[in-house]
Each structure stands twice: as structure tokens, then as C-alpha cells.
Copies of this chain bind each other. A is one copy, B any other.
């Protein structure tokens, strides 16, 4: 069976690497903090050791800086003809640069960012958006979830990933404002949320985020608030480059800052609802 490299054993990367191993791949892995490899994955001490023996190396790292730093090693050590499969959420500018730099070395950059929280990663239920030529990668995707949208260019996949996160973020902001309003009207927000989530917005993301906001269960983080700020800044950078205003992102950004100004770095990104609650004169988390 094929050998595949996997960089990054965070909340998402760990179950993904594990699923690749379970699907029969020989997985060589690396993580900045060592000894995090899931069962079945052979952990290496450096990216270089992973890169030189693989035809495909997937990256699932925290941010642009981490991906770019890993990419510099891949540029040098990935064989000609090999593929860097970028699954992290990164800026469209970096995605363009990765595609250019790998191509200049006879390597291939394919973007494949994913939608889904850690539970979905574990259950192989991720929705994958690909960008670029994906020949020969089907079995990898099958081990992780389902390819739901395929685009011509890697940076376009990054753009759709950021856009999808923007829509989810708008939903968080909207439900945060809506549920503060009804609570100020003496109505139980949990009942309103059950109503919305079982009628005109009967979707998993609505029930998931809405339920947590209604319950003010804003910790622990599935996706940390401080990472949410990072993502909204990537959305705004994409909006800049493409000359396309995103006023809702601006509003959410200000609520992230207000939550972070109170030291809530490690709350879930749904925790921006705490700042909305405070603007309405409610306690950040409901008491009792």
C-alpha cells in the first residue's frame, strides 16, 4: 500500500492521520510538539525525514506561518513529481505562492481544505473542497470524508474554505444577536433555538452553534476564539485582494476583539456571543 506523509496532529489532524492509517496507508507523520502521533502512524523527527520518502505529503497546520515554514522544507526535500496536499485553512495569497513555488520545482500543490468539527474528522465525515488537479488522490480523500466541490485552482479552494467559514461565522453572529434579543424579552432562548433549528433552519451547524449559544456553553473550544480572529482576518484579506466588501466580517471581528479584550482566547469561537450579550447588558454567560 502507498506511503503518505502527514504534518500536524492537532484536533483535526490527529483523527485524519489515524483514518489514513486505518485505510491501509503507511503514514509517516510529524508534529511540532512530538509524541502526539495517533496509533498506526510512524512519527518522524523532522519534516525532511517525512518528505524524502513520500509521493504525497499532507499539511494540517495551525496557520499561514506554520504552513509556509513547513513548505520551505518540502520545496527542498519533496521528490520531483510529488504532491503537497494542503488541507489547512490558509490565505489565498499563500495558496497562490505555494502553487507557484512547488510548480517551479517540478512538484505539485493541491489544496484540499475540509469542513467539519473534530467529531466529523473522527467519523470520516469531512466535506472536502479541492483546488487543482487531483489525479491519484481519490483513495486519500475516501479515507477522510467526501469530495464535495472541485475547483480549478488551489487558491480558489482556499477561498471557498474561508467563504464557508464566513457563512458559519455570520450564523454565529446572527444567532448571538437574536438570542440576546429574545432573552431581553423574557423568553427562554433555548426554546427559540429549538424552534428555529427544527423549522426553517433545520441544519446541523444551526443546531450545533445555536444550541451552544443558547445554553451559553462557550467553553471548551472546538475551534478557539483566537483562531476565529485569525480566520476572520484571512477572510478580510481575501476580500481586500478581490475588492469585495464583507461588512458582516467586520462586525464579527469587533465582537472577537471585545471578547479577547476580556481574556477569552480559549473559548470557542461561538464565544463571540459573550461580547454580544454584554452589549445587551446581559452577563457573558447565563448564571444559575
Say how far A244's CB is from chain B's closest CB, in angstroms.
4
A interface secondary structure, majority:
helix
Q: Are B280 and A243 in contact (CB under 8 A)?
A: yes
Q: Are B233 and A199 in contact (CB under 8 A)?
A: no
Which of chain B's residues have a CB closer than 8 A to the CB of A167? 174-175, 178, 196, 201
Q: Are A200 and B240 in contact (CB under 8 A)?
A: no
Q: Does A160 count as interface, using CB distance less than 8 angstroms?
A: yes
Q: Are A187 and B243 in contact (CB under 8 A)?
A: no
Q: Does A239 count as interface, using CB distance less than 8 angstroms?
A: yes
Which of chain B's residues have a CB closer than 8 A to the CB of A205? 200-201
Q: Are A281 and B262 in contact (CB under 8 A)?
A: yes
Which of chain B's residues have a CB closer than 8 A to the CB of A257? 239-240, 243-245, 279-280
Which of A21-29, A33-41, A47-55, A248-256 is the contact stretch?
A248-256
Q: Are A247 and B240 in contact (CB under 8 A)?
A: no
Q: Does A177 count as interface, using CB distance less than 8 angstroms?
A: yes
Give Cα A148–Cα B195 distance, bound, in whole angstroms: 6
Q: Which of B115, B174, B178, B245 contacts A280 (CB 8 A)?
A: B245
Q: Are A280 and B258 in contact (CB under 8 A)?
A: yes
Which of chain B's residues have a CB closer than 8 A to the CB of A261? 184, 243-245, 279-281
A206-247 Cβ-contact flags toward B at 8 Å (1 or 0): 100000000000000000000001000100101110111111
Name the CB-closest residue of B to A281.
Answer: B261
Name the CB-closest residue of B to A200.
Answer: B205
Q: Does A137 count as interface, using CB distance less than 8 angstroms?
A: no
Q: Are B149 and A244 in contact (CB under 8 A)?
A: no
